[in-house]
Structure 1
Amino acid sequence: MTSVTDGGGRQRRRLTNAVKEELRDLNIQLSQLNRRVGASVNLKDVDWDCLDLINRTGPLTPSALAAEAGLHPATLTGILDRLQRAGWITRERTPDAADRRAVTVRANRDRNAELFKLFAPMNERMDVLCADYSEAELELLAGFLRRIVGAGREATKELAGE
């Protein structure tokens, strides 16, 4: 076992810090890519984030989307208005709900082709990168990224006081 005070401990800290730095760089780069994609289809950053959540987890209620996105429901109303006006989503009344105002938000999947086209160059690059890894390595990487997402969720909840 390697002690924190010996050379192995320093090397591990250096490597751990390198991973953290690369994840920060990844965050910045993906944010830039998402901003470019959003600008190409006239979506604000927060609108794009919500549309992506709807596409990935929907259909869902506005309350569920607000919770998932970490947004105040009043803020979400404006976002949903913009997305609906632009044809990205529909709001459907929930017929069996006790509250007649209850709606479900759905993505208009026919619009996704526009997004796929914009993300195609990045997806192609990812396919090329992933081809260099074995299935076992890809499983390791996917597991690591899932754990990073979980850590991010936990940290976000702590900051929100949950």
Structure 2
Amino acid sequence: MGDVTKGGRAHRRAVNAVKDSLRDLNIQLSLLNRQFGAKVELKDADWSCLDLINRHGPIGPGALAKLAGLHPATMTGILDRLQRGGWITRERDPEATDRRAVTIRATRDRNPELYRMLSVMTTRMDELCDRYSQEQLELIADFLRRTTEAGQQATAELAD
């Protein structure tokens, strides 16, 4: 049996295989997002921001810009396109001390259109997940959460 210690050759090969697989996944998801965006007429950044709004909204433009890693001026253009497309609404916050403050909300009646488009990938993921036990899925979910956190940390370091 090969060297399986954390510093050993087999472990390094396994780590490199995981990193290569993550790179392949990143590329494939980018391609999928591009195809998806083309179908619903959303640019990559627009789709990313809409997904963030759906997951974390309602949200202010500044907080969204920070989450998306985008300059506020860039965010204004994205929000303008999303609003013109009927994907979001901007609402004035009557409670805010700054009268210009707005809250961004996803337009929920457009979500069924998104779900229909994503159903192909959702079906593929359900089929894939059926091959794993609950314990394995929990391990995979933990790994993906930690990978996301590592990506967030690396993004923040690069932004500094």
TM-score bucket of the superposed structures, by smaller chain: over 0.9
Partner Cα distance (1:81, 1:2) in 2: 53
Q: Report the equivalent of 2:23.
A: 24
Q: Report the equivalent of 2:49.
A: 50
AA of the residue aligned to 2:59: L
Partner Cα distance (1:95, 1:62) in 2: 16
List structure 1 segments (4+ residues) > 3 angstroms apart after TM superposition: 1-4
Partner Cα distance (2:100, 2:48) in 1: 24
Q: Report the equivalent of 1:37.
A: 36
Which string of whole-angstrom CA distances, capped at 9 and with x for unpartnered residues, describes residues 3-54 of structure 1?
Answer: 73xxxx1111011000000000000001111111111011011101100000
- TM-score, reference length from structure 2: 0.96
Gaps of 5+ in 1: none
Q: Report the equivalent of 2:72.
A: 73
Q: Report the equivalent of 2:140.
A: 141
TM-fit CA distance, 1:2: 3.3
Cα root mean square deviation, aligned: 1.1
Alignment size in residue pairs:
157
Gaps of 5+ in 2: none
